[in-house]
Amino acid sequence: MAVLLAIESSCDETAVAILRGETGRRAEVLASEISSQIELHREHGGVVPELASRNHSLRLRGLVEKALATAGAGMAEIDAFAATSGPGLASSLLIGSTAAKGMACALGKPFLGINHLEGHLLSPFLDQTMVPPHVGLIVSGGHTLLLDVGGPGRYRKLGGTRDDAAGEAYDKVGKLLGLPYPGGPEIEKAALSGNPGAYDFPRSMLHDPHLDFSFSGLKTAVLYTLQREQGKFSIADVSASFQQAVIEILVGKTLRAAQLTGRKRVAISGGVSLNKALRGAMREACERSGLELMSAPPDFCTDNAAMIAFAALLRHLAGESSPLSEDIHPNLPLVCAAC
């Protein structure tokens, strides 16, 4: 049985989690604490790196203490420490990574640097210690990525975004519509009362033979529509039509990936996977195609430390660790030359 403490500080969420697990048994989240900075950055319309890192520094110690208290554990009971090493904002990554290394060094325990994307990818299986073969779709504010997953650490890139990520497009369209930051939840809310067929926005690359994504053209199409309408548009209709286009692209590409790889299981993760319309459409499409759909619990879809702890747990149980000299990697890819 191993107990891990993990820190996630890749962007604007400060998070600490404690996870307990062993090979062959379900992992248990003993504590998951998150301090959001949304209100802090909302007035700027996006994340300000200097503000984010400063607030990570201010809040991290309190979150570690709170997580230990919630878990009913002492620092000496932690078997390994982990932190996100990338991708993310360099100034934010440094806060969490340095803190986790410091605790590991002080207690003579292993340290594990974890890829933020791997945390998202594995989050649908967070209560297990086995990750079955599947097609994984990571869809978040900064990433849209399709992967063929053979198991923990065995990832093959099938497709990714060539420009904006889906979540980034949501935020930019939300800004065009004058909605508060972050735009994703606001567009989802507005779309509930809108007509998804009101505007025929493009489904970029949907029928291309490759599995890459592009959302920049869709965002531009919304901009031109708003300029043409000259204020006489319905925010609800634009939101619903934009969201429908995004969903059709994500669902269509994911199902094609499952067909090409022969996988019978699909897993979606990342902040955008919280979108109920996307989840519903993906579920219906998977049921029609005879595929099993897995998704992370809502609390573990957005940036959190439990997913980092889980990825670290699997590596720790496999006897892996990271050197304390390992640096952060703001542009760290999930798969490299082997993809």
Instruction: Catalogue the E-assigned strands of 48-140.
Output: 80-86, 111-115, 134-139
Whole-structure pTM value? 0.94
The HSE-up count of residue 163 (CA atoms within 13 Å, CB side) is 11
Q: Choose among 335, 23, 22: nearest CA to 154.
A: 335
**C-alpha separations of 262 from 25, 133, 149 in Å:** 28, 10, 12
Backbone angles phi and psi of 233, in degrees to 5: -110, 160
Tokens linked to 27: 């992992």
Please spell the DSSP secondary structure of 76-101, one letter per residue.
GG--EEEEEEESS-HHHHHHHHHHHH
pLDDT at res. 29: 97
pLDDT at res. 336: 56
Alpha helices in 230-293 (DSSP H): 235-261, 276-289
pLDDT at res. 338: 39
Tokens linked to 128: 């297990």
DSSP state of 161: B
Q: What CA–CA distance (Å, rounded) separates 6 from 57?
A: 16
Residues, the chain = 339
Backbone angles phi and psi of 137, in degrees to 5: -115, 115
128: CB partners within 8 A, 6+ apart: 26, 27
Burial of 2 (0-12, 13-18, 19+ CB in 10 A): middle
Q: Does residue 144 come out as left (phi exceeding 0), alpha (psi in the -120 to 50 range) or beta?
A: beta
Q: What CA–CA distance (Å, rounded) separates 191 from 189?
A: 5
Which residue do the tokens 């978040």 mark? Answer: 140
Q: Does residue 91 come out as left (phi exceeding 0), alpha (psi in the -120 to 50 range) or beta?
A: alpha
Domains of the chain: 2-126+300-317 (3.30.420.40), 134-295 (3.30.420.40)
Contact (Cβ atoms closer than 8 angstroms) between residue 201 and residue 222: yes
pLDDT by residue, tens only, the chain of 339 residues: 999 999 999 999 999 999 999 988 889 999 999 998 888 888 888 889 899 999 999 999 999 999 999 999 999 999 999 999 999 999 999 999 999 999 999 999 999 999 999 999 999 999 887 899 999 999 998 899 999 999 999 999 999 999 999 999 999 999 999 999 899 999 999 999 999 999 999 999 999 999 999 999 999 999 999 999 988 999 999 999 999 999 999 999 999 999 999 999 999 999 999 999 999 999 999 999 999 999 998 999 999 999 999 999 999 999 999 999 999 999 999 985 433
Strands 144-151 and 80-86: unpaired
Tokens linked to 73: 């554990």
